Amino acid sequence: MIIKINEMYLNRFFFILLSILPLSFLFGPAISLINVLFFDIFFLIVLFLNKETYWIKNITVKILLLLYLYLIFNSFISIEINSGLSRNFGFLRLVILFIGINYFFYKYQNFKQIFNIWSVIILIVAIDIFIEVLFGANILGYGQNEGRVSSFFKDELIVGGFVLSFFLMIAGYYLNKLDKLSKIYKIITYTFMFIFLLSIIITGERSNSIKALIGLLVLFFIFHKFNIRSVVIILLITLSSAIIIFNKSNYLKNRYTDSIIHSIKTYTVSFKHGDPHHFKAGNLYAQLHRSGYDVFKKYPYLGVGNKNYRHETCVNKKNKSYVCETHPHQIYFELLSEHGILGTLFILAVFSFLLLRGFKVNIEEKNFIGIGCFCYLFTVFTPLIPSGSFFSDYNISLFFINLSIMYASSKELNIFNK
């Protein structure tokens, strides 16, 4: 009887930790890290007490552990070991998080209720974005970023990417239930999609806006119950609303028109020219990409090492085309510069296998939670579009939450399914 009571309390404890996971990101990286570590530590205790080890033989777990071993190896071949050592060793927490989420989705069906809580959290963030755009500050008074929206993240301009990381997963959750809902609830579901999508666009984060549109279109295309008319109406209402808001914001108007046109026109010449000091009117992203490419040319096989791009371009700056930054702001140039061609091929092979396998099985099961996660993960690897550092704690955590849910919500893919 004591064991059953303990299990009941453990169930509630882990449910709370997962429910507040999106909220922990809003309070800063330290809080989100503590939340994940708490989850990992107590989950490992549960695994030890229950003596369940059969999941170790699962192919997905083996692949993730192989990726972890590669990152450890990458630390010791880096040009400056200490730069990426903690990041690479800390990657294990995400592997444990993946296993833990699979465990509790398998053991307790009510864990899917976390999507209702996540929906409320993301809806509050989306509404806060609208408040900041309309009134110049969010509900906490943040919002002096030259037109860019930061919402609860204060000085960091990442709120669009944050909403995007949960938006498609939540959309998939409600699409799973669409047949059981009345007409009014279907309209509410579509309205939520519209609010989330528009909130991302008006943050001024162009890359995440493009990714949101791509991800939603892929989700619409897969969801066979959507007709063309519904898709066109949602997109037209979203774009029309965005245009109205753009007309009231010179910053947003410039960011989505003049700035994009200028970037397209100057990208090629900026990339070829390379040297930002002699071409200041050029495209900074192109110069960053060129900088990443030049680092890759210098270390073509294994790269400079995870989180070592900054060390090479700032500390060891010997190439005039280098731009001193934390990363090249594009996932493929980042991987090539920090992992070389061999490491990049290995990393892409790992995630391609996991994503394509997840996509195939979730399509067969018609599990739109998993498909929504896939749509987000797919956009992470969109070529050409600028992006944040893939292996940064923030981005890789959001990536792994989606990867974990894609597998955990599937009956066949869940690693605890015997």
Q: What is the pLDDT of residues 128-148, one digit of tens each?
A: 999 988 888 888 888 766 667
How distant is the alpha carbon of residue 123 from its chain centre? 18
pLDDT at 181 over 50: yes
| Mean pLDDT computed over 379-396 | 91
List the structure tokens of 386. Answer: 């600028």
Q: Between 281 and 341, whose confidence is greater? A: 341
pLDDT at 282: 64
Is residue 3 very low, low, confident or very high in pLDDT (cuts 50, 70, 90)?
A: very low
Report d(CA 224, CA 341) in Å as an integer: 39
Q: Could you tell me if residue 282 is left (phi over 0), alpha (psi between -120 and 50 degrees) or otherwise beta?
A: beta
Using only C-alpha atoms, the chain has a radius of gyration, in whole angstroms, of 22
Report d(CA 174, CA 377) in Å as an integer: 19
Model confidence over 265-316: pLDDT tens digits? 677 776 666 555 455 556 778 888 888 999 999 999 999 999 999 988 888 7
| Mean pLDDT computed over 158-184 | 86
Cβ–Cβ < 8 Å for 371, 363: yes
pLDDT at 379 over 50: yes
pLDDT at 112: 78
The DSSP 8-state label assigned to residue 154 in this structure reads: T
CA nearest to 90, candidates 63, 66, 72: 72
pLDDT at 1: 38
List the structure tokens of 194. Answer: 């519209």
pLDDT at 377 over 90: yes
Residue with tokens 């947003």: 252
User: pTM of the predicted model, to two decimals?
Assistant: 0.91
| Mean pLDDT computed over 350-375 | 95
Cβ-based neighbours of 27, under 8 Å, separated by 6 or more: none
Report d(CA 212, CA 37) in Å as an integer: 29
Report d(CA 362, CA 383) in Å as an integer: 24
Is residue 408 very low, low, confident or very high in pLDDT (cuts 50, 70, 90)?
A: very high
pLDDT at 164 over 60: yes
| Mean pLDDT computed over 370-390 | 93
pLDDT at 5 over 50: no
pLDDT at 120 over 80: yes
Name residue 145's beta-bridge partners.
Answer: 148
Measure CA of the first residue to CA of the last residue in the chain; give whole Å.
Answer: 27
Cβ-based neighbours of 126, under 8 Å, separated by 6 or more: 163, 195, 196, 199
Model confidence over 10-62: pLDDT tens digits? 778 888 899 999 999 999 889 999 999 999 998 998 888 888 788 888 999 99
Cβ-based neighbours of 253, under 8 Å, separated by 6 or more: 246, 247
pLDDT at 4: 47
pLDDT at 319 over 80: no
In the chain, % of residues over pLDDT 90: 46
pLDDT at 410 over 50: yes
Is residue 354 very low, low, confident or very high in pLDDT (cuts 50, 70, 90)?
A: very high
pLDDT at 148: 77
pLDDT at 331 over 80: yes
